[in-house]
Structure 1
């Protein structure tokens, strides 16, 4: 297809999927546009993407980190990710790699493609047809916001609820209440969670810590 007609996307955030139990919704945002695309992904891929969103570096490389290190070691660069098909509820993607002399296109799960793109700062594209079929306009509902937690940027559209970073469903009471921790307690907790490789919880703590620093 004509590359000039493709739509560039960015990673907006992750939420629990209200469409599929036990899964997560990766929210992709149209660059310079109002539309969002929800992509249902698994827990492992959600964790990998959340770590990158929160700029958390695990003590040992995860699978996507290892893949990127391997590619760099052999002089291979990810040129772009292209989400080229949506069929039966599944997004299909291609990774375009180059070593300077030749270019290779490899098929990939979209969740893996996004996780790798985030680690290499490669652009992400899709087609206008996929955006038309799967995209939605983000609508803000003020009455959905919990006044006791200003860090939640709660937005909802259709079946997907999105909170900033990597958060829990709105109807689940979070224990412990990290929002009540001091900055020092949050920093110690974050380091402990990373040391224990509890990256999902670490991403939550990092989000709260960042919001406190910005207040």
Structure 2
């Protein structure tokens, strides 16, 4: 996102000049022209590249009164057979950084297997919430067939204490008629990438792809 500021009372936009003259000569000519109306602080050519300008220059005068005098006297006059166009120059656009998003919380994750094929993430979350646990995330994994789960999933908690309590409470419980098996996830502590450097060796980065998650699960089985 970019934001425009108000035009500067000292800096003038000087357009309509030829782009064919050498840069050094042109800047000296422009400075000489503007010095008739006051102190010239700076002359800047807008360039396409190092050797060719855009037919546009920016001149900074010593005071608002001097800038106004140059503007009034040079507007619509001629330079090298070209009509000069004058205006107050707008400052260069400044980029406004986007607002920072809220950091994702650290989660402590359990791996849940032997799920019924018809189980969905909501079923998993509802089960673990039944013991007053603070479930942050619950996901049943699907591979290929969206109507039939892969038989396993993950449940995340806000604290290690809650995750350990859920591990003891839910291992062997029934979900839609099947006894589930619960264990620590191979990636027990999930930390957002931007926060991982602050949490030391206990943390691991979030998996970046579903394939990586599936690899971790297969290694656990």
TM (normalized to structure 2)?
0.19
Larger radius of gyration between Structure 1 and Structure 2:
2
TM (norm. structure 1) is 0.19
Structure with greater proportional strand content: 2
The structure, 1 or 2, with the larger RCO (C-alpha pairs under 8 Å, 6+ apart) is 1
The structure with the greater share of residues assigned to helix is 1
